[in-house]
Amino acid sequence: MSEKRKYKKRYCKYCEAKIDFIDYKDVASLRFSLSERYKIMPRRLTGNCKKHQDMVSNVIKRARAAAFVPYVVTRKEVVPNPFEILK
Amino acid sequence: MRHYENLVIVKPTLTQEELEQEIKAVEEVITSNGGEIAATDAMGMRKLAYPIQKNERGYYHVIYYKVAPSAISEIERRFRINENLLRFMTVKYENKKEITAWNKMVEKAKNAPAPATEEKKEEAASEEAAE
3-class SS string, B80-122: HHCCCEEEEEEEEECCHHHHHHHHHHHHHHHHCCHHHHHHHHH
User: Are β-strands B85-93 and B2-10 bridged in parallel, bridged antiparallel, or unpaired?
Assistant: antiparallel
Task: List the one residue out of A86, A2, A4 whose CA is nearest residue A47.
Answer: A4
This prediction's pTM: 0.76
Number of H helices, E strands in chain A: 7, 0
Say which DSSP state B70 is in.
G
Q: What residue numbers bound the domain in which A47 lies? A: 2-86
**CATH number for the domain harbouring residue A64:** 4.10.640.10
Residue B39 phi, psi (nearest 5):
-160, 155
Over residues A63-86, mean pLDDT: 70
pLDDT at A60: 92
For testing the chain A interface, which of B7, B55, B64, B88 should be mutated: the one with the most A CBs within 10 Å? B7
pLDDT over 80 at B128, yes or no: no
As for how many domains chain B has, the answer is: 1
Q: What residue numbers bound the domain in which B59 lies? A: 2-130
pLDDT over 80 at A72, yes or no: yes
**CATH number for the domain harbouring residue B71:** 3.30.70.60
Q: Where are the alpha helices (DSSP H) in A1-87?
A: 2-6, 13-16, 27-30, 43-46, 50-65, 75-78, 81-86
Min CA distance, A8 vs chain B (Å)? Answer: 31
Min CA distance, A26 vs chain B (Å)? Answer: 11
Residue contact B87–A21, C-beta within 8 A: no
As for how many domains chain A has, the answer is: 1
pLDDT over 70 at B11, yes or no: yes
Give pLDDT tens digits for A14-51. 888 888 888 888 888 888 888 888 889 998 888 888 99
Give pLDDT tens digits for B90-126. 999 888 888 888 888 888 888 876 444 444 445 544 5
